[in-house]
Chain A
């Protein structure tokens, strides 16, 4: 596997379900990100992990819970979601420093909440 991978690619869940999105990067990076892409809205940064510590949480509801067990893996745990949470969830990674390093994105997980 190369680059940034995400599983699953598609997920349909009910509002009472608990599920997790997984992201893995094979690039030796030390910063990882979760973004949400809704229809007709710009990409929204949700969480940033740098050197395995959460350094950014953009007022994301608590029904989204990130976990970064090591520099290569990032999870997004989902619980009691709402239909408006249906979106494409993108994971990205980069070197934390210098700050101009580009972010490499995974293919995304298309989430539908019924």
Chain B
């Protein structure tokens, strides 16, 4: 069974609007961490935001926020005020106890001007 599911292969958003990228996860471990990475066409993976399973509040980093719904096992990424430079592939990932990071299939985001 897939541990990380990203159901949106591709998304379009108008510049300056907000967009939500979906991520659901599957784990029986009570202690885990959720990450979002951005991969532009250059190939480098850029860390965006982290949410711990015990964190009471949703994580925020600038224009990025994570809508964490633990009971639903979802960790959606919200990008506010989209910019053209946000066009990239976005990966959701989960880290359980140990050093293993498991990635979803990714969502391609295209920002339109």
Total interface residues on A, using CB and 8 Å? 25
Q: Which of B18-49 contact A (CB under 8 A)?
A: 33, 35, 37, 42-47
B50 at the interface (CB under 8 A from A): yes
CA distance A19 to B103 in the complex (A): 27
Listed in ascending order, the chain B residues whose CB lies under 8 Å from chain A are 4, 33, 35, 37, 42-47, 50, 52, 91, 93, 95-106
A69 at the interface (CB under 8 A from B): no
Listed in ascending order, the chain A residues whose CB lies under 8 Å from chain B are 31, 33, 41-43, 45, 48, 50, 55-56, 88, 90, 92, 94, 96, 99-100, 102-108, 110
CA distance A34 to B74 in the complex (A): 27
Consensus secondary structure, chain B interface: strand
Q: Is the Cβ of A56 less than 8 Å from the Cβ of B100?
A: yes
- Of the A-B pairs whose beta carbons lie under 8 Å apart in the complex, a sample of 30, sorted by A's number, is A41-B105, A42-B4, A42-B91, A42-B103, A42-B105, A42-B106, A45-B100, A45-B101, A48-B100, A56-B99, A56-B100, A90-B45, A94-B99, A96-B99, A99-B33, A99-B95, A99-B97, A100-B33, A100-B52, A102-B35, A103-B35, A103-B45, A103-B47, A105-B45, A105-B47, A106-B44, A107-B42, A107-B44, A108-B43, A108-B44
